[in-house]
Amino acid sequence: MGAYIAKRLLAAIPVLFGLTIIVFLIMAMIPGDPATAILGSYATPENVAKLNKDLGLDKTLFEQYVIWIGNLFKGDLGRSYTLNRPVLDEVLERFTATLILAGTALLLCSILGLLAGVVSAVRQYGLADKAITLLVLVGISRPSFWLGLLLILIFAVNLRLFPASGMYAIYGGGDLKDLLHHLALPAFTLSVVATGVIARLTRTAMLEVLRQDYIRTARAKGLSERKVIYKHAFKSALVSIVPVIGIQAGFVIGGAVYIETVFQWPGIGSMLVKAISTRDLLLVQGGVLVVASAYVLFNLAADVVQTMLDPRLR
Amino acid sequence: MKRYLAAALASAFLAFAPGSEVEAQTPPNVLIVGQIAEPKSLDPHAITAVNDFRILMNVYDGLVRYKDGTLEVEPALAESWTISDDGKTYTFKLRDGVTFHDGSAFNAESVVFHFKRMLDEEHPYHETGPFPLSFFFSSVEDLKADDEHTVTFTLNAPYAPFLSNLAYPTGLIVSPEAVKQHGKEFGRNPSGTGAYKFAEWEANAKVVAVKNNDYWDGAPDLEAVIYRPITDANTRIAEMLSGGLDIMVEVPPDSLQQFKSDASFAVHEQAGPHVWFLILNAKEAPFNNKAARQAANYAIDKTALVENILQGTADVAAGPTPPAFAWAYNEGLEPYPYDPEKARALLKEAGYNGEELTFYITEGGSGMLDPIAMGTAIQADLQAVGMNVKIETYEWNTFLGKVNPGLEGKAAMAEMAWMTNDPDTLPFLALRTEAFPDKGGFNSGYYSNPKVDELLEKARQVTDQAERAKLYQEMQEIVQEDAPWVFVANWKQNAVTKASVEDFKLQPSFFLMLQDVKKPQ
């Protein structure tokens, strides 16, 4: 297993390396430049040229890339033009916030999705199944930013039970309780679509397994229904569900962009959107690098878990 | 199993559930301001955004400042000044006994340090830049400290907007000691002389400034001001409605009505030095003909734009200079009336026969208000008088990259908006012959009138405000008649406060001045 993981990690290096080149090229190809973005109405050719020089952007693209990659090996991701602070600090802070949000959402959707899927499958065509199927359909169909705004309107503006935005209280607070309190609405909003997907898949996988002969055998042996479902059926259904949860982890981080914007969650998604619109190349580069590395790790983790669950894959 | 599950769900819910006290209520004497974005820096020379100015104007002072409710300068860190007869030498007498928040003394040397850091590439702390707006002071040839409290600026040519530029954030004085101590990180460890002292900056969450008890102009009543960046307008509104903010700025027109009808909020509006216009390409047909340019001005129903699309958040513009520059504004100007008949007649006179005209629109951008909706409405108005207008829409940075180098060969017209601090800035940079794009200016429509050039040059050299005003007023009259632009709107800045916030007032400068604000509960 160790050798497998090491091999996979080594294989990721050229992927990430290629990615940095692609990001550099794309950022160079889109029209507009950081100096114009900073100067706005004052962007005369003369002012732009001077600022580009001050920012080190008068060098060729190749030179800029070589400098960037050289600094990367020294652990320096450069300095953001728009935030005037080291890219690494910003990216790490932002990524931690996204991980907290996405991690909680992933946990929520795994628990709720698996639970709903199993109940649905066991009570196929029953009232619970119909109710869950309907809820899942609604959950998957509506846009998450809309749900977010609706929840803010109900729980923050009208009932005043939860804060409308931010990660910590602006005055006082700052502890775990405060964090959870701020996390509730955005994490729930973010988890809804993934919950639906996991619930649907779990239902199908469970139904598939429940039709297998060995389940009939287990029942015939006189095992309790609970044991049949959780010990025998659920465990083998899980093998096909885990990779989907791994993929959902990617979607949850991707979907976090909208949720971070709606709830003003200081995550990396909203940072990247802003960085692209202000042509903050180094910030985009640093952000993409971190997110891409995380994707690689998540996929690897999902594969490892799957291998452990399914002896046939070893 | 079910029991465990129920217990797990219940505890999960409890973990997320709010405590008995909901934090939405903000504490007394602490003002929480909803900003539209995270500040870039708190170094006044490194920034360009109005959003960041809102913080800085309360943490720093300049040598001069705008008098309350006007765009006229009055003494601040300088008690008085004299200007030489040739308009090239400015001598400032500085206020005595002022200290920076870091404890170091404010004196003539700090002023010299401040400008040298920005302007002199050889200065040991020039590296703490870049300073994108340093050209505001490009006329400064030299400055020196005559004694502890006197400083003299020598300009390379008479430049009347100099004082007004000193009142702009780029002229705010920073503590040399703090710059030396923090270097490039000064922007996150700012120190000025303002009414509030910087206390804390938690990235993407808040900037906190606390009361400066030793403020030379009287300590403020508030204990602290907290600036919160909330980029999404809907979220900002929700936060205001749920009680998490005391002030929010840039309220979308749609929500303004909601706040106006709710007694727990107060809505503030103030016209500012902003003008929204269409650049017309005066080099190529049809707008190389004055009649066609005037026709565009008559054809567009500006009142409808301002009332329906901007929902009353702007006034109809009459000329190139916003009325907020009260001292320099020509009160006699009336906006072009909406007169499609006259527009048709003028177009006929100009010999326009329905040739396709390209119209550049932007998706957003500083001061651009609602550019797509406005552009579409304008297209419809022009179509109605027989102009065949084709819209091309670009993202803001791309748009600037297309418009700023000039419209020749590309487009007949383009949207544009400016916010400035002096009546000189916009016409000087965008209406002179010497400001054609190939000469480094913003005259993207190639308007040229020797008389206007002369008036603008002269207005820079005259330091007497009344005399300058006359020159600007004459310029406005000529420009309105020549119609190099379609003059559309002057934006009114708005803000909403909780009803419990007292003595808050918006300024025509668009700066957010909080020295006198109170919030007893």
For A166-225, what is each residue's pLDDT tens digit? 898 887 777 899 999 999 999 999 999 999 999 999 999 999 998 889 888 888 888 888
Residues with Cβ within 8 Å of residue B292, at least 6 apart in sequence = B285, B286, B346, B347, B350, B352
Strand partners, B360: B392, B414
Residues with Cβ within 8 Å of residue A190, at least 6 apart in sequence = A101, A102, A105, A144, A252, A255, A256, A259
Interface test with A, best of B23, B188, B240 (most A CBs within 10 A): B23
User: Does a cis peptide bond (omega within 30 degrees of 0) precede residue A34?
Assistant: no
Domain co-membership, B199 together with B67: no
CB contact under 8 A, A277 and B38: no
Question: Does residue B438 sit in helix, strand or coil?
Answer: helix
Query: Rounded to whole angstroms, what are the CA distances from A294 to A250, A259, A267, B155?
Result: 9, 19, 14, 56
Number of neighbours of residue B146 by Cβ within 10 angstroms: 12
Query: How many Cα atoms occupy the beta-carbon half-sphere of B23 within 13 Å?
Result: 23
What was the pLDDT predicted at B17?
53
Domain co-membership, B199 together with B311: no
Question: Does residue B334 sit in helix, strand or coil?
Answer: coil
Q: Is residue B9 part of a domain?
A: yes
CB contact under 8 A, A83 and B40: yes
d(CA A149, CA A156): 10
Domain co-membership, B329 together with B463: yes
Domain co-membership, B224 together with B173: no
pLDDT average, residue stretch A63-73: 88
Q: Domain holding B473: CATH number?
A: 3.10.105.10
Q: Domain holding B213: CATH number?
A: 3.40.190.10
d(CA B357, CA B518): 53
Domain co-membership, B328 together with B442: yes
- CA proximity to B265, closest of B282, B283, B289, B248: B248
What was the pLDDT predicted at B4?
55
d(CA A140, CA A195): 8
Q: Chain A contact for B322, CB < 8 A? A: no
User: Does a cis peptide bond (omega within 30 degrees of 0) precede residue B130?
Assistant: yes
Structurally, chain B folds into a number of domains equal to 3
What was the pLDDT predicted at B21?
40
Residue of B nearest to A152 (CA): B238
d(CA A243, CA B484): 63
Which H helix or E strand runs over B34?
strand B30-35
Joined tokens for residue A70: 């050289």
Q: Is residue B104 part of a domain?
A: yes
Residue B41: list chain A partners with CB under 8 A.
Answer: 83-84
CB contact under 8 A, A93 and B203: yes
Task: Identify the domain boundary among B183, B204, B226.
Answer: B183
Domain co-membership, B331 together with B316: yes
- Starting at the edge strand that comes first in sequence, how are the strands of the sheet with B140-147 ordered? B78-83, B89-94, B150-155, B140-147
Question: Does residue B413 sit in helix, strand or coil?
Answer: strand
Q: Is residue B263 part of a domain?
A: no
Domain co-membership, B55 together with B199: yes
Number of neighbours of residue A192 by Cβ within 10 angstroms: 23
d(CA B407, CA B455): 25
Interface test with A, best of B235, B248, B258, B442 (most A CBs within 10 A): B235
- CA proximity to A40, closest of B275, B168, B394, B48: B48
Range of the domain at B94: 61-183
Share above pLDDT 70 across residues of chain A, in percent, rounded to a whole number: 99
Please tell me the pTM assigned to this model. 0.83
pLDDT band at A253 (very low <50, low <70, confident <90, very high): confident
What was the pLDDT predicted at B16?
57
Task: Identify the domain boundary among B154, B183, B212.
Answer: B183
Query: How many Cα atoms occupy the beta-carbon half-sphere of B378 within 13 Å?
Result: 30
Task: Identify the domain boundary among B157, B183, B209.
Answer: B183
Residue owning tokens 């409808």: B304
Question: Does residue A186 sit in helix, strand or coil?
Answer: helix
- CA proximity to A145, closest of A243, A27, A273, A289: A273
Query: Rounded to whole angstroms, what are the CA distances from B89 to B83, B154, B161, B389, B457?
Result: 6, 5, 13, 51, 18
Domain co-membership, B33 together with B92: no
Q: Is residue B253 part of a domain?
A: no
Residue B19: list chain A partners with CB under 8 A.
Answer: 177, 181
Closest CB from A93, A164, A181 relative to B242: A164
Q: Is residue B265 part of a domain?
A: no
pLDDT in tens, A80-133: 888 878 899 999 999 999 999 999 999 999 999 999 999 999 888 999 999 999
Residue A157: list chain B partners with CB under 8 A.
Answer: 238, 241-242
**ipTM score of complex:** 0.78
What was the pLDDT predicted at B274?
94
The pairing of beta strand B314-316 with beta strand B224-229: unpaired
Share above pLDDT 90 across residues of chain A, in percent, rounded to a whole number: 31
What was the pLDDT predicted at B12?
53
Residue B235: list chain A partners with CB under 8 A.
Answer: 152, 164-165, 261-264
What was the pLDDT predicted at A53?
82
Q: Is residue B256 part of a domain?
A: no
d(CA B347, CA B357): 13
Strand partners, B497: B247, B266
- CA proximity to A201, closest of A143, A297, A133, A141: A133
Farthest-apart Cα atoms in chain A, separation: 86
- Quote the distance between the C-alpha of residue A121 and its chain's center: 28
Which residue spans within B395-470 are E strands per DSSP?
A: 413-419
Which H helix or E strand runs over B85?
none
Q: Is residue B51 part of a domain?
A: yes
Residue spans of chain B under pLDDT 50: 1-2, 19-24
Q: Is residue B307 part of a domain?
A: yes
- CA proximity to B488, closest of B288, B313, B306: B306
Contact by Cβ (8 Å): B310, B435:
no
Domain co-membership, B176 together with B227: no
Which H helix or E strand runs over B213?
none
Enter the DSSP assignment of A174. -
Q: Where are the alpha helices (DSSP H) in chain A?
A: 2-29, 34-39, 45-55, 61-73, 87-122, 127-141, 144-151, 176-210, 213-220, 225-227, 234-262, 268-277, 281-309
Q: Chain B contact for A159, CB < 8 A? A: no
- CA proximity to B472, closest of B427, B432, B509: B427
Domain co-membership, B55 together with B167: no
Question: Does residue B312 sit in helix, strand or coil?
Answer: coil
- Cβ burial of A73 (10 Å; 0-12, 13-18, 19+) is exposed
CB contact under 8 A, A171 and B27: yes
Q: CA gyration radius for chain B?
A: 25
d(CA B41, nearest CA chain A) in Å: 6
Joined tokens for residue B91: 């001598």
- Quote the distance between the C-alpha of residue B337 and its chain's center: 28
- CA proximity to B314, closest of B488, B484, B476: B488
Q: Does A1 have pLDDT greater than 70?
A: yes
Strand partners, B467: none
CB contact under 8 A, B400 and A42: no
Residues 355-414 of B with CB under 8 A from A: 365-367, 395-398, 400-401, 404-405
Q: Domain holding B107: CATH number?
A: 3.90.76.10
Domain co-membership, B363 together with B468: yes
What was the pLDDT predicted at A12?
85
Domain co-membership, B37 together with B158: no
Residue B439: list chain A partners with CB under 8 A.
Answer: none
CB contact under 8 A, A38 and B132: yes
What was the pLDDT predicted at B8?
53
